[in-house]
Structure 1
Amino acid sequence: MYNMEPTAGYSPTVPPPQLYHSVQAVLPRDTDNQQPANCFNKGMLRWTLHKKVRNNPGNSLSLVWVLIKELEKAERWDSRKCIIPLLHTLMYAIIQTAFIPDELYKRVYDFCKRLLTYPHPYCTVGLSYTKQMKIERIIPGLMYQRLVTAEQRLKNEHYPFQERVFILADPLVFSGSLIPLLFGDFEASTSTSAGFQSPPDHMCSVVQHTIQAVLGAEQCHGLKLAQAMRDKYQDIEPYFQEVLAILEQSAQEGSRGDGGALRSRLQQLYSKIVADTDTEPLCDGPLCDCPLPNPKISFHLWTEDLDIWRELARSFRASCTSEQFSSLSQEQEDFELGESPCDLMPSDMTRFSVMSNDSGIEKDFPPGSDPSPSSSLDPSNISASWEHCKTELESMRLSRRGGIKFKPSAKESMVLMQDTLEDHPSVGGGGSRGENRGVTLQRRAGASSMQNYFPKPQRHFTARIVIMGDDRVVGRLAKAYYFFRKREARRLFLTMKVNLQFYYIPVCMVTTPISPAKENLNHSNGDSCSLGSYLSNVDPWYNCNIKSLGSTIHNMATMHQANPGRPKEPFISDVISYYIRCGQLPVYFTIYFVKITFNNTAKDPMEDVFLTNLEIEFPEFRHISPSVRDKHKRNSGDVCGAVISMNYKKMTLSGRDVDKGISVRTSGAQINAIPLSEVEDLNCLTLTLNEAPVKPKNNTVESKIRTSNIKIRTLESRSFNLTLDKDSRRTYRDVQSIEVSPCLDPGYCIQKAMRSKFNLGEDKDAGLSKYMSKALPLPINTFAGIVN
């Protein structure tokens, strides 16, 4: 039931000096990496700060004043490391503040506008918040109204956008006491957000916040408005629809609109709502808090049989009224997503060719057969299609199967190309990026709206996919995303409807000496969350709030075992909500394709992808310790291991890449796509042999090889094992050779294929192709992109 309390009812007023000290305590410092405990505390302190102010409009307004003063001071002192954390904290407080004076709006807007003269990523964050503050100053409460309407998927006729949060947790990491902890936290999130439990509760909150934000305490009595809406709880939807209509009409008019007209219309609506109350004055009263409810979260353990794309489509179709999904029947959806089981992607299914001896004309078909499309969409036929496919080889009887459309339409081709241009507008050819390569080795990060001249169409549905685990779950996401893009290139379905946003929360497995995970993670004696460690190095605010969450979850699970029961405060849900709302700048990680050839010639080659790590290991040398190998090398001068040949393109900062080929003896090798330190932050692969070169003076064998394309082949009768993304479930044995290269983006492939029809024999990129990236990246959203 909707519940709105007065300002002084249950949340004490925090004096500004105390808020100032709280703000100073959460800011990232240069010593955070040397003292991880301090960094972990900052995430909890940031959450505590927002809890202090979310239930008191007075506290929230005071925090806004403190934060803008701190931002202006950081600008004067050129303390850029604090600007983005302070700005995110400021905007999160502004959204929830009941009323903000116009002079404060102007002060915040002017500061954000000054950030446009700063380098990336400050100008990108500044541009985003400048746009929001410009319209929020004209239409107070619009950000809150749109956020709640989209996240809670409230039915309306004026704002069609909807969002859904999917959390995918690795079952190898999240087991035992972690599962009840997460479920309890998510349950507390839905039941303790100021009593928000149903759509009418959220509608009441939107109406309350909007009227207060526009009218203020001088023209609105928050307590009387809250009481009037409690009395009209069952009939609140018409008022909610009217508020949305007023604000969205004002948003369309923009700066041409009249602020006085907006206040006048909301004043009339306010008088209509409180018309049945007593005759006391309806203004100059205290305002009520309107806490921002956490979005609805769909939690899944990412097991082998979970098809995340099918789950995503079903979720949006079941909860929306838009024609894009509601008009799509279950049978049509299954047809669009493929008829294969969840563990097989339609684009990779083996399709057997059977020669047909009929004419293909309907009247020539034997009696009883119905080749019409309507029959192929019959539920009974769809449910039996896969079983029929399995027995097709055994029966060897002629059957007509639905074909896969390999040639996309012009509209579908443009959607994929616009996606690629949106994500890579600055990766075109040019002399500054190297004449031979055409791209830079610097990792790309941040939104591209300032440079993009080919914006993709706005989609009404946004899926925020949050993955939790170590490098193994990130590798699974990269593989799922790669096959998803391949499938969409053949049969476009979700790309035209859903905007995908990816987030990552690194959580390591608690290993023991007898844990089976030890064998997985000790191959390189490295970090099992290398991608999370990289993001925490380049984004200090990610380090404080997200990287620290993994350790906090394990600590909370230990406390939960000692004191079972539902947590009173949804800490994990609150942090995830803060992350997906403020994490707007992606860091791009290239997905790499690997072709695997086996020693047994009767076994067909296989294809796979990886994101973070590829390991080569010769089983017969696995148990030889590094000290023994080094001793053998010093005594005999020979390296203990097998001989392999490597052909690769050596990458240089100048862009003058060189083709090289060498043969070395080694017991294994590591290929890392994630840099191990900030000094080596290059967007390429780094190959490291288990043994250092025998002769350091010999330049033909380097200790580290930087490349993006490499072929490795064993020259002896020995074969090696291949492990992708440190995941033992993705280990290939008896491997003879591998070929590694960046995955090609389907959007680029389509544009290239279209041009090849008209330019036979021309291999050079031209037209839109030269503005598109060949490689397919996986974007992981952060708060600031790459700062360091």
Structure 2
Amino acid sequence: MESSDVELDLQRSVQAVLRELSAQAPALQSNQGMWRWSLHKKVERDPGKSPVLVRILLRELEKAESEDLRHVIIPLLHTLLYVLTKATGITEELYRRTYKFCTRLLTLPAPYCTVALDCAIRLKTETAVPGTLYQRLVIAEQNLTSELYPYQERVFLFVDPELVSPSVCSALLLEIEAAQVHQTPEACMRHVVSHTLQAALGDTCHASALQRKLKASPRRALERYFHAVVAAVEQMASEPNPSREGHLERLEEIYCSLLGPAAAARGSCCGDPLQDPQPSIPLPSPHITFHLWTDEEQLWKELVLFLRPRSQLRLSADLEALDLQGLWPDRELARASMLSTDSGIERDLPAGADELPVPGSPELERAGLQRKGGIKKRVWPPDILMPACWDGPQGLHRRTGMPSGDGELLPGVSRLHTARVLVLGDDRVLLGQASHRPKKRETQKFCLTPRLSLQLYYVPVLAPEEPASCRHSELRELATFLGRADPWYQNTVNTLCPAIHKLAEMPPSLDTSRTVDPFLLDVITYYVRMGTQPIYFQIYTVRIFRDLSQDPTEDIFLTELKVKIQDSKFPKDGFSPRRKGAAEGPGAELSICYQKALLSHRAQEVTGSLRATGLVLKALPTSDTDGSGPTHTPPSAAPVTDHTCLNVSVTEVVKSSNLAGRSFSTVTNTFRTATIQIQSQDQRLLTLLLDKDSRRMYRDVVRFEVAPCPEPCSGAHRSKAPWLGSHQPEVDRTKAKPKPLLMPINTFSGIVQ
């Protein structure tokens, strides 16, 4: 195909992506997300098209900037950066032109400036050291061993077996297993070496000969070339003013040692006109583990297993003890003191005392409980102060090699691990637990927060019993809100909902030799790689009283709490009789006390009683103009939750009298609040339904209280962090307001204003 035909074909595909961003026609909406996927597949099958596509995308971005078409800027930026990550043969002029464009976008408001800054940081390193983005991405996602880049990532795919059908689970497992069969460590190291050399050397690199040589190399030689390439890239990228010429010289030496001086000299002098077309270098999908969410503690256990290998960590003595207490079972964060009974003289020590015991042996268990030569105290307090933001770097330095946006949380520890928890299923059921459970466990075993960046992702899938007509037109509230907030999320992720069911309903292919492009896996991979901007949601806690004389039951919800009036009544004993003259009618008499949500933040408490047939408490805004609900902040700022509130709808019973007698009608009243307490005043009991989950239904409720869920470690007590110096003041948390527990769901741009 001629160059003009290639450019015309890619231009049509880019225009199709832009049209579907503002498409209202059902014909276009039914295929949303396919154009972006097919566009990336075109350059993946023919890498020589990458420079042409980069020019087209850059031209469209400059056009959108001049015409102020902001709704296409972020999708085009993500598409461009994804192409640049995988491409080779991009000229330095194109890199610099793209970098300058990103810097011009820094004058725009958030989230445009935030996404542009993220792209500019990555492009600055890629311009000076080509191949850095691809190399770091593969090393982290495939957990390849590298001392110069020790970061590791893993995608945890969690599904609810009661909401996701077995056919959907089988389809996902087939795609994941089929992709990971060929992603051996040797194959990934070959991809890194080949891509880095081609990106740096350009046309002078014999791509086909290089890949043949790497495939024929034994494991030991391949590791040597891999570590040499990684060292050349990372050392150059760490310099404040890297020299591209010096970087090319180092890679040419590695290239000559691979192919030999004669072959390398022929390529650098005259090239090879008979060379085959440039072979494709695949970008391996991330390491994904598939889990059925059957245990509330399952996520915590998987994260602990992910952190268990500690070969690359350099911890202080206190933190080594902390790791043992946090990662080993049945070890509590407690102070242990034991008086030594030995003489302290070296000759009295038993033989072999200098040898370290084998992990898991009885000697190690005893060594953890006593110490020779004095008194041992574990000074790490169980009520250790947890940092306010545990979700780590929110995308800004995710691919630039920097450990964390807030530096080292503890001495000697940096966040080298990133866990990307992808929740697949119905709204609200698993997301709240994914954010709340690990933090609650941190109050007992403080081992994940200092070393782990937890990122949450969400892909909606309707329940199997949903009718087919609803699968294509109706998403749940959380997915609908995310789609309104971020149009690129709507086009890329929400379209997976019908696609997943379509793929699951297709019969399996009997032709095993035919290669099928894994659409679901590719879209999920694109989402977890490019979704770096979080939207924060407030988690609410509800205290449920079935008996006012007993302790309440506590639970959490994310988006909705629905209250219904039961037909059953209180037992006659233990309840005051109704007052005389009280009118019978539908519903129940409720006493309500709530704190009114005001923009001035003044505390205004409202109390009253009314007869109602039901209530609905919603945490999500009901329209695009509603200012309540989740908020988005750039990574450099703290999440703002001042305007987060509950929208309460009460179905009130109104009594009226006329010539025909008394009649009752209902009217819906709405108000906003941050906290609310409701108690039944007559013999009617209440039923609570949390997040539309029938498994979390509470019957025979007398009273319930709703408030923002606080951070599990923000209790009202004093604590002094032991790693702070003596000049640091003591942290007094008795006067501090409890920090709200926020759940960040990653999207591509956050909330687009």
Q: TM-score if structure 2 supplies the norm length?
A: 0.79
1:22 aligns with 2:13: yes
Q: 2:138 aligns with which of 132, 144, 148?
A: 148
Q: Could you tell me whether the CA contact under 8 Å between 2:165 and 2:463 is conserved in 1?
A: no
Deviations for 1:391-419, whole angstroms, at most 9, x for unmatched residues?
Answer: xxxxxxxxxxxx9999448xx53x62464
For residues 695-706 of structure 1, what are the structure 2 equivalents within 5 Å?
703-706=669-672
For residues 718-737 of structure 1, what are the structure 2 equivalents within 5 Å?
718-737=684-703
DSSP-derived class of the 2:93 partner: helix
Structure 2 counterpart of 1:460, one-letter code = L
In 2, Cα distance between equivalents of 1:610 and 1:158: 43
- Uncovered stretches (5+) of structure 1, i.e. residues with no partner: 1-7, 348-358, 364-373, 384-402, 424-445, 623-635, 696-700
Structure 2 counterpart of 1:180, one-letter code = S
1:416 aligns with 2:370: no
Q: Could you tell me whether the CA contact under 8 Å between 2:534 and 2:744 is conserved in 1?
A: yes
Structure 2 counterpart of 1:467, one-letter code = V
Quickly say closer, same or farther: Cα 1:552–1:124, change in 2 above 3 A: same
Counterpart residue number, 2:86: 96
Q: 1:174 aligns with which of 146, 156, 164?
A: 164
Counterpart residue number, 2:57: 67
Structure 1 counterpart of 2:279, one-letter code = C
For residues 482-521 of structure 1, what are the structure 2 equivalents within 5 Å?
482-511=436-465
Deviations for 1:189-228, whole angstroms, at most 9, x for unmatched residues?
Answer: 224xxxx4311111111111111111110x3221221222
DSSP-derived class of the 1:680 partner: coil
DSSP-derived class of the 1:416 partner: coil
* 1:478 Cα deviation from its structure 2 partner: 1.5
Deviations for 1:53-74, whole angstroms, at most 9, x for unmatched residues?
Answer: 1122211121111100000000
Q: 1:250 aligns with which of 236, 240, 243?
A: 236
Structure 2 counterpart of 1:27, one-letter code = L
* 1:321 Cα deviation from its structure 2 partner: 3.2
Q: 1:109 aligns with which of 78, 84, 99?
A: 99
Counterpart residue number, 1:432: none
* 1:690 Cα deviation from its structure 2 partner: 3.6
Q: Could you tell me whether the CA contact under 8 Å between 1:587 and 1:785 is conserved in 2?
A: yes
Q: Could you tell me whether the CA contact under 8 Å between 1:713 and 1:737 is conserved in 2?
A: yes
Structure 2 counterpart of 1:170, one-letter code = D
In 2, Cα distance between equivalents of 1:238 and 1:551: 46
* 1:21 Cα deviation from its structure 2 partner: 1.2
Q: Could you tell me whether the CA contact under 8 Å between 2:568 and 2:684 is conserved in 1?
A: no
* 1:292 Cα deviation from its structure 2 partner: 1.0
Q: Could you tell me whether the CA contact under 8 Å between 2:424 and 2:460 is conserved in 1?
A: yes
In 1, Cα distance between equivalents of 2:732 and 2:189: 61
In 1, Cα distance between equivalents of 2:243 and 2:648: 62
* 1:14 Cα deviation from its structure 2 partner: 6.2
DSSP-derived class of the 1:729 partner: helix
* 1:31 Cα deviation from its structure 2 partner: 4.7
Deviations for 1:748-781, whole angstroms, at most 9, x for unmatched residues?
Answer: 54897669x989999765xxx7xxx821100000
DSSP-derived class of the 1:323 partner: coil
Counterpart residue number, 1:207: 193
Structure 2 counterpart of 1:162, one-letter code = Q
Counterpart residue number, 1:665: 611
Deviations for 1:4-44, whole angstroms, at most 9, x for unmatched residues?
Answer: xxxx9xx9996111111101111265754x54652341211
Structure 2 counterpart of 1:663, one-letter code = S
Q: 1:652 aligns with which of 594, 598, 609?
A: 598
Counterpart residue number, 1:557: 504
Quickly say closer, same or farther: Cα 1:243–1:485, change in 2 above 3 A: same
DSSP-derived class of the 2:616 partner: strand
Q: 2:622 aligns with which of 665, 676, 679?
A: 676
Quickly say closer, same or farther: Cα 1:272–1:340, change in 2 above 3 A: closer
Q: 2:706 aligns with which of 737, 740, 748?
A: 740
Counterpart residue number, 1:356: none
Quickly say closer, same or farther: Cα 1:416–1:29, change in 2 above 3 A: same
1:301 aligns with 2:292: yes
In 2, Cα distance between equivalents of 1:313 and 1:205: 30
1:583 aligns with 2:531: yes
1:571 aligns with 2:519: yes
Between the aligned residues of both structures, percent identity stands at: 37
In 1, Cα distance between equivalents of 2:284 and 2:340: 57
Quickly say closer, same or farther: Cα 1:176–1:378, change in 2 above 3 A: closer
In 2, Cα distance between equivalents of 1:405 and 1:641: 57
In 2, Cα distance between equivalents of 1:679 and 1:340: 51
Q: Could you tell me whether the CA contact under 8 Å between 2:715 and 2:733 is conserved in 1?
A: no
More helix by share: 1
In 1, Cα distance between equivalents of 2:447 and 2:453: 12
Quickly say closer, same or farther: Cα 1:751–1:201, change in 2 above 3 A: farther
* 1:115 Cα deviation from its structure 2 partner: 0.9
DSSP-derived class of the 1:670 partner: strand
Counterpart residue number, 1:629: none
Q: Could you tell me whether the CA contact under 8 Å between 1:613 and 1:725 is conserved in 2?
A: yes
Q: Could you tell me whether the CA contact under 8 Å between 1:55 and 1:290 is conserved in 2?
A: no
1:138 aligns with 2:128: yes
In 2, Cα distance between equivalents of 1:95 and 1:290: 12
Q: 1:221 aligns with which of 206, 217, 226?
A: 206
Quickly say closer, same or farther: Cα 1:779–1:225, change in 2 above 3 A: same
In 2, Cα distance between equivalents of 1:49 and 1:727: 39
Q: 1:271 aligns with which of 256, 265, 286?
A: 256
Deviations for 1:304-333, whole angstroms, at most 9, x for unmatched residues?
Answer: 366111112213425x632379x9999997
* 1:258 Cα deviation from its structure 2 partner: 2.0
1:687 aligns with 2:643: no
Structure 2 counterpart of 1:660, one-letter code = V
Q: Could you tell me whether the CA contact under 8 Å between 1:98 and 1:287 is conserved in 2?
A: no
* 1:295 Cα deviation from its structure 2 partner: 0.6
In 1, Cα distance between equivalents of 2:405 and 2:172: 42
Q: 1:604 aligns with which of 551, 554, 559?
A: 551
Q: 1:288 aligns with which of 270, 275, 279?
A: 279
Q: TM-score if structure 1 supplies the norm length?
A: 0.75
Structure 1 counterpart of 2:506, one-letter code = M
1:708 aligns with 2:708: no
Counterpart residue number, 1:353: none
- Uncovered stretches (5+) of structure 2, i.e. residues with no partner: 342-355, 366-376, 570-581, 629-643, 657-666, 722-727
Aligned Cα root-mean-square deviation (Å): 4.2
